[in-house]
Amino acid sequence: MKKLTIEDVAQKAGVSKSTVSQFLNKRFKYMSEATKNRIADVIEELNYQPNGLARSLKQNRTHMVGIIVANLDYSLSIQCIRAIENELQRHGIQVIICNSDENADKENTHVEALVARQVDGLIIFPTGDHPSPYTRLIEAEYPLVFMDRLVEGITTQSLLLDNEMAVKTAIKELTGKGHENIAILSLPLGEHAITPRKERMSGYKKAMEEAGLRMNDEYVRSVPREAIASALDELLSLPQPPTALLAANDLVLGEILKYANRHSIAIPGQWSVIGIDDAEFARIYNPAITTIRQPAYEMGMQAAKIMLSLIEDQGDAMPITYRFPPALQPGQSVQAPTPTK
């Protein structure tokens, strides 16, 4: 059976091959509704399948975008990926998703592999703190978008939460209920801490100062996930234990809730708790946990739109850092501190 070509479609629809090509590439600017409908009907009637490989070679495009996620365990990552994929697929672009496990070397390997596959652009949740791997992409005018994190020395399209505002919102909620002894738990800061951790810790210090509260260094804990239980043991053993805990991300919040269950700690009776990142489990925990939501789906949608624009404009856009506002999602995990006897 003879393989159908674009010429067969054009002939039956009574238009030029160029018009059919424009239709297939979703360039409808100068095309009438009648012409669009006629071509669509012919394609359906003939069951015509465009040769994707040939089209990619001709256009020097693969209609694929790579997404490199720092850690698939984060609820932010999952929601952002879903939004990016949905939006790009609407424009005929498929995604390749890679997980770097917070490992800069693994991320670099993914970058090399995706560039070798000639993806049209990269959306990266960066794990590295050295600019050189990204500088190569920018110098080559490769469409590049950063999500959730910044890299010092790199200016590209970047989207992330207003992290300091997120912490200030949480502290305001806690101080409004009368809490003064507020602890914050974060994954490790270290020398090369990622943007959200640095900014959320900075936001905590500023928020406590603005609230007129004394900073207690013993209330500030940045430890690996497996050490969170030990950090909570230490907080409980202090002469004046905290009455409220702020979890700097969803992984930390999960560990706090597991600890509370194991040790029969009442929330919000003994601890008032707020988490940053609107994890699904926070709403199904009993009681529902108050969280600071970052608009992950909206961030993903915006990232996809920026990527589409970069691909079409060949990377000519001025680099912009987009900051998204946090939103308080009230639960039942915050109440006034219990008076000490």
User: Percent helix, strand and coil across the chain, each rounded to 5?
Assistant: 45, 15, 40
Give 341's contacts (C-beta < 8 A, 6+ positions apart): none
Rounded average pLDDT over 42-56: 71
On whether the CB atoms of residues 297 and 77 are closer than 8 A, the answer is no
Instruction: Express each pLDDT in 100-149 by its tens digit.
Output: 998 999 999 999 899 888 899 999 999 877 788 888 888 888 899 999 99
Q: Can you name the CATH fold of 62-160+296-324?
A: Rossmann fold (3.40.50)
Q: What is the largest CA-CA distance in the chain?
A: 89
pLDDT(298) > 50: yes
- pLDDT in the model for residue 53: 44
User: Which of 55, 119, 115 lies closest to 88, judged by CA?
Assistant: 119
Instruction: Express each pLDDT in 274-288 by its tens digit.
Output: 999 878 899 999 999
**Read out DSSP for 132-178?**
HHHHHHHHTT--EEEES---TT--SEEEEE-HHHHHHHHHHHHHHTT
Domain 163-294 is found in CATH 3.40.50.2300: yes
Sheet with 157-161: strands ordered across: 94-99, 64-69, 121-124, 144-147, 157-161, 321-324
Residue 79, Cβ neighbours under 10 Å: how many? 20
On whether the CB atoms of residues 334 and 273 are closer than 8 A, the answer is yes
Asked, colleague to colleague, whether 62-160+296-324 and 163-294 share their fold, the answer is yes
Instruction: Express each pLDDT in 144-161 by its tens digit.
Output: 999 999 998 888 999 999
On whether the CB atoms of residues 310 and 143 are closer than 8 A, the answer is yes
User: Which of 225, 248, 279, 77 lies closest to 164, judged by CA?
Assistant: 248
Give pTM, 2 decimals. Answer: 0.78
Cα separation values, 61 from 25, 111, 140, 142, 146, Å: 11, 17, 15, 12, 21
pLDDT(204) > 60: yes
d(CA 294, CA 200): 13
At 233 the three-state DSSP class reads helix
pLDDT(213) > 70: yes
Query: How would you class 272 by CB atoms within 10 Å of its CB: exposed for 0-12, middle for 13-18, buried for 19 or more?
Result: buried
Relative to beta strand 244-247, strand 182-186 is parallel
Sheet with 327-329: strands ordered across: 220-222, 182-186, 244-247, 272-276, 290-293, 327-329
Percentage of the chain with pLDDT > 90? 65
On whether the CB atoms of residues 44 and 74 are closer than 8 A, the answer is no
CATH number of 6-50: 1.10.260.40
Query: In the chain, where are the structural domains located?
Result: 6-50, 62-160+296-324, 163-294
